[in-house]
């Protein structure tokens, strides 16, 4: 059965699927379309599922579309265009989706991590789950763009400077992004700065979770440098530091590269299980050592979020959020 009713108070003629026309408040059977009070034409359709009639948004955009998917994409597109998180009422006003249907779609998107819901402000914004589930595209486009948004948030949790670097072909590391906590002392290097291959925190983070053969290959080309009295300058010392790094769940450098400076670092793996970045939190030695566990837990959580967003595949023994730090 298929009936179209024009918005009150006036009735209009509409065409049925069979090609005929009908007008007036009384018709044989069908779907009811009501024009919503919005700038665009919105319709609702009365459907019979065999046991009951339900009123929902009609699909008037074309044949062969799945209404729920179509509406979910509408919602995501709208939220993506906004400069800040939005409310349920704002989404309804823009999309014309009924409140109950819109709420159900939002709840589903939040469940899968595609949206983030702020229970205090009652607002919605895009979540990192959407990046995780389309990671093959984001990796092809720019993994750095995906990672950077999470890196920028990390100093707000750690109260430290945070530096993202990329392993270089010569064995060293190049700074590709940095972020700092507002009002805190900034300890960082400019984007493009080149760290030597044995920069303590970076070296430990790079090698701690790779095969022994890779560590041996790295050591074969290593010329020890004593940057400070605390620098590791023996092969036995490197092996021991890598073991300690795995045990605690993160790389730690205290006065080993620069006196008075400490760093906590972790590698970031791509979807092939290769290290693509090193993320470290840097600060004055007294501050980092006093808050070591707190900073490490925030770093572990951030790296876990990055791995989910880009589809990264860290080793089985790699630390996860909630693990002891």
**Quick count: other Cβ atoms within 10 Å of Cβ 282?**
26
Q: What is the dihedral of CA 256, 259, 260, 265, to 10 degrees?
A: -30
Interval 152-201: pLDDT, tens? 999 999 999 999 999 998 899 999 999 998 888 888 788 999 999 999 99
Is residue 14 domain-resident?
A: yes
The two tokens of residue 118 are 């702020």
Is residue 121 domain-resident?
A: yes
Q: Are residues 171 and 294 in the same domain?
A: yes
**Quick count: other Cβ atoms within 10 Å of Cβ 33?**
19
Q: Are residues 1 and 78 in the same domain?
A: no
Q: Are residues 112 and 159 in the same domain?
A: no
Is residue 316 domain-resident?
A: no
**What is the pLDDT at residue 35?**
35
Q: Which helix (H) or strand (E) holds 263?
A: strand 261-269
Interval 144-156: pLDDT, tens? 777 888 999 999 9
Is 172:278 a contact under the CB 8 Å cutoff?
no
Q: Are residues 138 and 251 in the same domain?
A: yes
Q: Are residues 16 and 46 in the same domain?
A: yes
**What is the pLDDT at residue 51?**
56
Residue numbers of the chain with a pLDDT score lower than 70: 1-63, 135-143, 323-325
Q: What is the DSSP string of 117-148?
A: EETTTTEEEE-THHHHHTHHHHHHH-HHHHHH
The phi and psi torsions of 64 (rounded to 5 degrees) equal: 65, 25
Q: State how far the Cα of 14 lies from the Cα of 8, in Å rounded to an integer.
A: 14
Q: Which domain holds residue 107?
A: 67-127
Q: Are residues 77 and 19 in the same domain?
A: no
Q: Which of 16, 45, 62 is the last residue of a domain?
A: 62
Q: Which of 62, 80, 111 is the last residue of a domain?
A: 62
Domain count across the chain: 3
Beta bridge partners of 57: 44
Residue 40 per-residue DSSP state: S
Q: Are residues 206 and 263 in the same domain?
A: yes
């Amino acid at each position: 059965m298929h009936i179209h009713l024009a918005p009150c108070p006036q009735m209009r003629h509409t065409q049925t699927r069979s090609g005929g026309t009908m007008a007036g408040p009384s018709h044989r059977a069908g779907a009811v379309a009501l024009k919503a009070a919005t700038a665009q034409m919105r319709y609702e359709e009365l459907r019979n599922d065999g046991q009951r009639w339900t009123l929902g948004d009609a699909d008037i955009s074309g044949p062969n579309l799945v209404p729920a998917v179509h509406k979910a994409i509408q919602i995501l597109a709208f939220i993506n265009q906004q400069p800040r998180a939005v409310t349920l009422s704002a989404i309804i006003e823009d999309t014309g989706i009924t409140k109950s249907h819109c709420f159900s779609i939002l709840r589903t998107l939040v469940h899968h991590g595609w949206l983030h819901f702020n229970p205090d402000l009652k607002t919605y914004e895009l979540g990192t789950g959407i990046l995780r589930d389309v990671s093959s595209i984001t990796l092809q486009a720019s993994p750095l763009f995906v990672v950077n948004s999470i890196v920028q948030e990390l100093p707000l949790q750690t109260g430290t400077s945070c530096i993202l670097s990329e392993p270089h072909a010569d064995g060293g590391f190049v700074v590709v992004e940095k972020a700092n906590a507002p009002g805190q002392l900034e300890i960082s290097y400019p984007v493009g700065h080149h760290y030597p291959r044995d920069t303590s925190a970076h070296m430990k983070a790079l090698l701690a979770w790779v095969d022994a053969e890779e560590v041996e290959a790295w050591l074969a080309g290593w010329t020890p440098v004593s940057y400070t009295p605390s620098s590791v300058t023996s092969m036995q010392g490197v092996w021991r530091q890598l073991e300690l790094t795995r045990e605690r769940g993160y790389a730690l450098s205290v006065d080993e590269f620069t006196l008075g400076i400490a760093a906590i670092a972790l590698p970031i793996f791509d979807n092939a299980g290769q290290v693509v970045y090193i993320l470290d939190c840097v600060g004055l030695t007294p501050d980092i050592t006093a808050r070591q566990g707190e900073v490490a837990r925030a770093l572990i959580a951030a790296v876990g979020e990055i791995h989910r967003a880009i589809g990264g595949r860290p080793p089985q023994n790699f630390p996860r959020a909630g693990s002891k730090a």
